[in-house]
């Protein structure tokens, strides 16, 4: 993927992560309180983790990952790792390229929600997806964003 984060964006991202991350003194009591928060919503909800993956579609040779190529990747790589469900959005991203010029690139945003208890296994599956995309489409990276706090999910 041809996403190049500028130093400012990287610093902003690290700052945001440090502000949103739980304090080091957070304990199991904090986890219980978060579970209680889901129970107090007035509806049945469970604590889930939210992960977003950003896939650029620009290839080094100037071509793009086609919709057909994306569909094959989605069906053969992503869906088997998260068969319970997922969301994919299509959009356009922007980054500062060499020479300071803003470069736009089409991309896909994958949103995954999975139970907190499955965080370790899901994390491994997410890394399989990222590795496969980078290898399969000659990408430098697949941006991963994990929400540090559990989200309350109800079906």
The structural domains of the chain, ordered by start, are 7-153 (3.30.70.120)
Burial class (CB in 10 A: 0-12, 13-18, 19+), 92: exposed
Q: Is there a contact between 133 and 1 (Cβ–Cβ < 8 Å)?
A: yes
Query: What is the tens place of the pLDDT at every residue in 43-88?
Result: 788 999 999 999 999 998 999 999 999 999 999 999 999 999 999 9
**What is the SS3 assignment for 108?**
strand
Lowest mean pLDDT among 1-15, 31-45, 137-151: 1-15
Q: Is there a contact between 3 and 143 (Cβ–Cβ < 8 Å)?
A: yes
- Which percentage of the chain shows pLDDT scores above 90? 56
**What is the SS3 assignment for 140?**
coil
Burial 3-27, CB ≥16 within 10 A → b, else e: beeeeeeeeeeeeeeeeeeeeeeee
Burial class (CB in 10 A: 0-12, 13-18, 19+), 145: middle
Q: Is there a contact between 122 and 49 (Cβ–Cβ < 8 Å)?
A: yes
């Amino acid at each position: 993927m041809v996403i190049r984060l500028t130093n400012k964006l990287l610093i902003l991202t690290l700052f945001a992560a440090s502000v949103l991350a739980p304090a080091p003194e957070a304990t199991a009591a904090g986890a219980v309180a978060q579970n209680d928060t889901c129970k107090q919503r007035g509806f049945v909800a469970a604590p889930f983790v939210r992960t977003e993956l950003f896939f650029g579609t620009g290839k080094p040779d100037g071509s793009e990952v086609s919709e057909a190529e994306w569909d094959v990747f989605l069906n053969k790589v992503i869906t088997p790792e998260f068969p319970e469900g997922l969301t994919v959005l299509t959009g356009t991203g922007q980054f500062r390229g060499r020479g300071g010029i803003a470069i736009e690139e089409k991309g896909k945003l994958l949103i995954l929600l999975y139970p907190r208890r499955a965080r370790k296994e899901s994390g491994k599956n997410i890394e399989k997806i990222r590795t496969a995309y980078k290898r399969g489409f000659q990408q430098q990276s697949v941006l991963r964003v994990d929400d540090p706090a559990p989200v309350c999910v109800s079906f």
